[in-house]
A = this chain, B = another copy of it.
């Protein structure tokens, strides 16, 4: 098998067995010299001194600082900016022997909706999703076996689904967010990408994810083997009961909402309220220093065009926080809850990276979420390209 088709798990095992050197595995187009130099350094390390990701290349979303590469946030303000700073998770990856292959594309500050230049590897006419567009596409396109993204609404899980790969949004706060550009402190979460579940487990373990309860502690069932005997929940989607409303109905609803707001009523959209009010604080520095080079939507958040009050913000933060223990209590009876990652296959075009309708609630609830590639839309997208790491035609 060509080295580029290897999963992280396969690469680790072949490098350990001595049948693959890091150098041979080291293709690159973004930072060839750097990645090659690091490969030579790694091949010189004695086998028993090698880390758990020895030699594996990792794509890193370009809102995550890396000391030897630019970090530009897809922002005109930070074009060619290259602070010599390693994010906490990058420090861990480097000390585990991983090679940072390059920086992957993102929507502006991982906070806007237009796709960056990246195309969907399954269909170049479609968006790879966002905001972690490049990480999802690079893993889906076999350019790297694993990658890092972030999620504030659906920014990790949605691209995973559109590109047909696995992803994990871990429990909020379980991995250091040191050195990730901030959009929202209570929503932003590091995300992990891989083509197989074992690679997610490998990467998550290296980054310190661990449980202190055994499976039988959780399920109360020590007899379970495989999934037999395990309990799963399925979330029935309330939206599925209704067809998509047409333009007339949508206009009428929008007008109703505007009228109600005008007369002082509120609609408690907690996730949106937290994101907008956190964005107001997060992008104030950029707005003060470089208003003309900041995305108009983000500048609008800074200027509080949505008219959010401090009271509304506190109510949203408090409302979400009060749900955390209640949802944990409901979920603790199950191994997992099944719910769609996206409404459907990746949309055609690049104006919009797709809907986060199925993601925002779980981001706000801080629970871990895994995207398991499985669905195909009416155009057969994403195509099934991997089974346990091996490509299928």
Contacts and interface: CB of A to CB of B under 8 A. Distances in A.
Contacts of A175: 281
A95 to B, nearest CB: 4
Contact of A65 (B85, B318, B324): B85
Interface string A285-321: 1101100000000000000000001110010011001
A67 B83 contact: yes
A378 interface: no
A181 interface: yes
Interface in A33-89: 65, 67, 82-86, 88-89
A318 B175 CA distance: 19
Contacts of A94: 289
A324 B211 CA distance: 28
Nearest to A310: B212
Given A185-B185, A321-B324, A284 B314 contact: no
Contact of A318 (B182, B311, B314, B321): B321
A25 to B, nearest CB: 23
Contacts of A178: 181-182, 282, 285
Contact of A310 (B211, B318, B324): B211
A181 B213 CA distance: 31
A257 interface: no
B309 A318 contact: no
B173 A278 contact: yes
A325 interface: yes
Contacts of A83: 65, 67, 83-85
A126 B317 CA distance: 41
A96 interface: yes
A208 interface: yes
A288 B212 contact: no
Contacts of A253: none
A328 interface: yes
Interface string A149-163: 000000000000000
Interface string A229-245: 00000000000000000
B181 A185 contact: no
A322 interface: yes
A285 B328 contact: no
A176 B288 contact: no
B85 A289 contact: no
A125 interface: no
Given A314-B325, A322-B322, 6 more contacts: A65-B83, A83-B84, A86-B285, A92-B284, A211-B310, A318-B325
Interface of A: 65, 67, 82-86, 88-89, 91-92, 94-96, 173-178, 181-182, 185-186, 208, 211-213, 278, 281-282, 284-286, 288-289, 309-311, 314, 317-318, 321-322, 324-325, 328
17 contacts: A86-B285, A88-B182, A92-B284, A92-B285, A92-B288, A92-B289, A94-B289, A173-B185, A173-B278, A173-B281, A174-B281, A175-B281, A176-B182, A178-B182, A211-B310, A317-B324, A321-B322
